[in-house]
Amino acid sequence: MSVIIQIKNVSKSYWRNSLEIPVLHDLTLNVKEGEFLALMGPSGSGKTTLLNLIAGIDRPSKGELNVAGTDIAKLNESGLAKWRSASVGFVFQFYNLIPVLTAFENVELPLLLTKLSKSERRKHVENVLSIVGLGDRIHHYPKQLSGGQEQRVAIARAIVTDPVILVADEPTGDLDKTSAQEILTLMERLNKEFKKTIVMVTHDPHAAEKATRLLHLEKGDLV
Amino acid sequence: MKIFKLIFKNALRHKLRTSLTIFGIAIAVIAYGLLRTVVTIWDSSIDAAGADRLITRQAVSFIFPLPLAYKTKIESVSGVKEVCGAAWFGGTYKDKSNFFARMAIDDNYFDLYPEFMVSKNDLDKYKKERNGCIVGKSIADQYKFKVGDIIVLDGDIFPGRWEFVVSGIYLPKNKNTDATQMLFHWDYLNERIKQETPVRGDQVFWYIVKIDNTNNSAQISEQIDALFKNSTAETKTETEKAFTQGFVSASGAIITAMNFMSFAIIGIIMLVLANTMVMSARERTREYAVFKTLGFSAYHLTGLILGESMLISCIGAGIGIFLLYPIVSGFEQVMPKGFFPFFFIEPITIILAASSALLIGVLASIFPIQRALHTKIVDGFRFVG
Ligand SMILES: Nc1ncnc2c1ncn2[C@@H]1O[C@H](COP(=O)(O)OP(=O)(O)OP(=O)(O)O)[C@@H](O)[C@H]1O
Ligand SMILES: [Mg+2]
């Protein structure tokens, strides 16, 4: 299978008050299409940073970054934004739903940037909401949903544009055991059935078990 | 789901905060409108002064009279077309609170004041009736005066009981024409004063001088004043506009203050709205990061924030303007009668209030928009309220 994420000699530092905080050092990593990669590692090791680089919401300080066939380190802001909306889906630890929008409207958000008609959008939204098992919660607001349900809405929002890659930053970090299990099963299904390439950061060894590959990040190095 | 819906939902997120902001803007717009209304009334009453009319009065003060003999002398100055004497009567009509101007005038007064429109019929009648008077439409309506009615005044400057018959009613030609005056024959006043207090006879308080060329007003004024130099009653001649302004110079300072305050209020509204918008945008830092992550552009975020700011400012201003009309007319009712010769909301006041609201909506959103656009996605997600 072909390589869909190609990270070559990537370094990333943050600057705080003209003080350099090195996070990732000369990191190289390839992810093949259809892989379900779990990233583990202690807090502060740079897992979120790496995920953000892959997803194109942050830029490397050095190195090459080819994701879904695009050299994303070379894109400008708006090019990157377009690329993101077409190629990646995001799932966060704290769901990050818009509280004033219903489940339906939250999932519909990314589609507003497409040329789809209203009825086509409706079809897509209803479809993904039923995939995540929330077909009966379409008009609920986030605060009317449980944490697990909120995360499922977030996953629906991440996949509604049918991106090839899904990144998830501790998607079960804030959930109870049962809900976490449901989310993981869903992720696994998205990987197996819908052929999504998934990169997931987790602290939970059980979660990592669902993955097809496991990597440890330690102080900015893969071990 | 369209951006409008989201703007509405965002605005309604903190209902109390949004309502208080809207309420604040509405009150400020009303205060602004009231102040501007008073200021524009003031300005337009000065503007109502005829450019082709000069006022000649005693140099010391207009409360001192001028001899009747001055009239022909003033008429002899070149450039002077017509001269009309006038005397302030004062007095009381029934009750002290019934305030309107009462003046004794020469019969050619209405030639000099074409903005006071009297029908030929009424004017002929007035000229025939020795104690006739002509009253403005506003006071005629207010006190239900009609032709043939008797008006009795209790004199103070000219003591005694004075009886007049209404010969006619004049209509204001312009919106800012004073329609609250009561005008009657100076001859009627003079005849009686001459009998009762002979030393006060044959006197007027000021002369209204109609000139043929407004460009010569300064020159003609000088010539008139030169005629009476070193006499017992030196004169001061100036344009009617300058006279009106001087008459109200003390109040002029208050008007300047009001003018300034009306603009200060605009500043206050802006701060109120800017505060609300900054708070809202700050709370939504993470959401903006989400929008950007999903691929929404600077253009979308700007629309979202600007839209909300405009929505709040426009609703606030709309309510304010809507309430301004009943409030101004309520204000007019509680003002002493005749205090302002006319009271109306100038369209310019509404235009200024509405355009200020739009401008404020834009200005108040600049800072939050900048912040939302400049915050990096990763920093947005790391932001803790
Ligand atoms: N935007 C930023 N600005 C400055 N420093 C940052 C920024 N993001 C991350 N860092 C720093 O980079 C290092 C790695 O952070 P990162 O969030 O990638 O770690 P992590 O492995 O995801 O940790 P956790 O398990 O706690 O989520 C930390 O020391 C963090 O303080
Ligand atoms: Mg992290």
* Domain edges within chain A: 36-57+87-222
Percent of chain B's residues with pLDDT above 70: 95
- Predicted confidence (pLDDT) per residue in B151-173, tens digit: 999 999 999 999 999 999 999 98
- Contact between B47 and B200 (Cβ < 8 Å): no
Given CA atoms B166, B171, B177, B180 in this order, what sign does their dihedral have?
A: positive
Q: Tell me the nearest-neighbour CA distance from B383 into chain A, angstroms.
A: 13
Q: What are phi and psi of A13, to 5 degrees?
A: -125, 150
Mean pLDDT of B285-302: 94
Question: pLDDT value at position B385?
Answer: 66
Evaluate: CB of A220 within 6 angstroms of ligand 1: no
Residue A58 CA: nearest ligand 1 atom is: 1
**CB pair distance less than 8 Å for B13 and A85:** no
pLDDT at B349: 84
The answer, yes or no, to whether any atom of ligand 1 lies below 6 A from the CB of B163, is no
> How many Cβ atoms sit within 10 Å of the Cβ of residue B352?
18
pLDDT computed for residue B174 by the predictor:
83
pLDDT at B220: 94
User: Per-residue confidence of chain A (223 residues) as pLDDT tens digits?
Assistant: 689 999 999 999 998 888 999 999 999 999 999 999 999 999 999 999 999 999 999 999 999 999 999 999 889 989 999 999 999 999 998 999 999 999 999 999 999 999 999 999 999 999 999 999 998 999 999 999 999 999 999 999 999 999 999 999 999 988 899 999 999 999 999 999 999 999 999 998 888 888 999 999 988 777 7
Q: Which letter does DSSP use for residue B154 in this model?
A: E
- Copy the structure tokens of residue B341: 């010769």
Query: Would you tell me which CATH number, out of the four given (3.30.460.80, 3.90.1170.50, 3.40.50.300, 3.40.50.1390), belongs to the domain A36-57+87-222?
Result: 3.40.50.300
B156 - beta bridge partners?
none
Which of A47, A61, A172, A217 for a ligand 1 pocket mutation test, highest count of atoms within 8 Å of Cβ?
Answer: A47
Shortest CA gap B1–chain A (Å): 7
- Nearest to residue B181, comparing CAs of B342, B344, B345, B335? B342
Size of interface A-B (CB pairs under 8 A): 54
CA distance B346 to B175: 10
Closest CA to A180 of A162, A199, A164, A203: A203
Count the Cβ atoms, other than its own, within 10 Å of residue B335: 12
Alpha helices in chain B, H assignment, sequence order: 3-11, 15-47, 70-75, 109-112, 120-128, 137-143, 186-196, 217-227, 240-247, 249-283, 285-293, 298-334, 347-374, 377-382
Q: Which residue has better confidence, B242 or B144?
A: B144
Pair of tokens at residue A74: 């070379």
Chain A residue numbers with beta carbons less than 8 Å from the beta carbon of B12 are 100
Q: What is the ipTM of this complex?
A: 0.95
Q: Give the residue carrying structure tokens 């609703």.
A: B315
Q: Which residues pair with B162 in a beta bridge?
A: B153
pTM given for the model: 0.76
Q: Residue B1: is its pLDDT beyond 60?
A: no
Give A98→chain B minimum CA distance, Å.
7
- Give the lowest-confidence range in A110-119, A198-207, B63-72, B335-344: B335-344
User: How far apart are the CA of B214 and the centre of ligand 2, in A?
Assistant: 82
Distance of CA B47 to the CA centre of its chain: 10
Q: Is A23 in the pocket of ligand 1 (CB under 6 A)?
A: yes
Q: CA-to-CA distance for A135 and A131, rounded, in angstroms?
A: 8
Shortest CA distance to A172 belongs to which of A151, A192, A191?
A: A151
Alpha-carbon distances, residue A162 vs A110, A123, A158, B102 (angstroms): 11, 13, 8, 86
- Among A10, A12, A14, A40, the mutation site with the greatest number of ligand 1 atoms within 8 A of its Cβ is A14
Are B88 and B103 contacting, i.e. CB atoms less than 8 angstroms apart?
A: yes
- Choosing from A27, A45, A93, A200 the residue with most ligand 1 atoms within 8 A of its CB, the one to mutate for a pocket test is A45
Q: Long-range CB contacts (< 8 A, 24+ apart) of B122-128?
A: B122/B147, B122/B167, B122/B168, B122/B169, B122/B170, B123/B168, B125/B167, B125/B168, B126/B167, B126/B168
Please name the residues in contact with B330: beta carbons below 8 A apart, sequence gap of 6 or more. Answer: none
Mean pLDDT, rounded, of chain B: 89
CB contact (8 A) between residue B295 and residue A100: no
The predicted model gives B33-45 an average pLDDT of: 80
Nearest residue by C-alpha to atom 7 in ligand 1 = A14
Give which of B38, B101, B54, B99 is closest to B252, Cα–Cα: B38
* Minimal Cβ distance to B294: which of A52, A101, A109: A109
Interface residues from chain B to A (CB-CB < 8 Å): 1, 6, 9-10, 12-13, 286-287, 289-297, 376-378, 381
Quick check: CB of A14 below 6 Å from ligand 1?
A: yes
* 8 Å CB contact of B293 and A90: yes
Residue B372 contacts residue B277 (beta carbons within 8 Å): no
Contacts of A90 (CB under 8 A, 6+ apart): A55, A57, A158, A166, A167, A168, A169, B293, B294
Residue A199 CB neighbours (<10 A)? 26
| B286/A113 Cβ within 8 A | no
DSSP letter at A175? S
* Separation of alpha carbons B264 and A50, rounded Å: 52
In this structure, the dihedral spanned by the alpha carbons of residues B76, B81, B85 and B86, taken in order and rounded to 10 degrees, is -150
Query: Which residue did the predictor score with more confidence, B254 or A157?
Result: A157
Ligand nearest to the CA of B381: 1
In order, the DSSP letters of B168-213 are EEEEESSTTS---EEEEEHHHHHHHHHHH-GGG-SEESEEEEEES-
Per-residue pLDDT at B214: 86
d(CA B78, CA A14): 88
Of A52, A86, A98, the CB nearest to B378: A52
User: Residue A147: what pLDDT?
Assistant: 93
| Inter-axis angle of helices B285-293 and B298-334, nearest 10 | 140
Number of other CB atoms surrounding residue B372 within 10 Å: 24
Q: Which comes out higher in pLDDT, residue B40 or A53?
A: A53
Tell me what pLDDT residue B247 has: 62
Q: Is A220 left (phi over 0), alpha (psi -120 to 50) or beta?
A: left
Mean pLDDT of all residues in B320-333: 86
Closest to B213 (Cα-Cα) out of B53, B75, B77:
B53
Whole-angstrom distance, CA of residue A120 vs CA of residue A124: 6
Cβ separation A52–B295 shorter than 8 A: no
Q: Which two tokens stand for residue B218?
A: 């300064």
The pocket of ion ligand 2, defined by CB under 5 A, consists of A 48
Q: How far is the CA of A44 from the centre of ligand 1 (A)?
A: 5
| Interchain proximity A96–B6, CB inside 8 Å | no
A58 near B CB under 8 A: yes
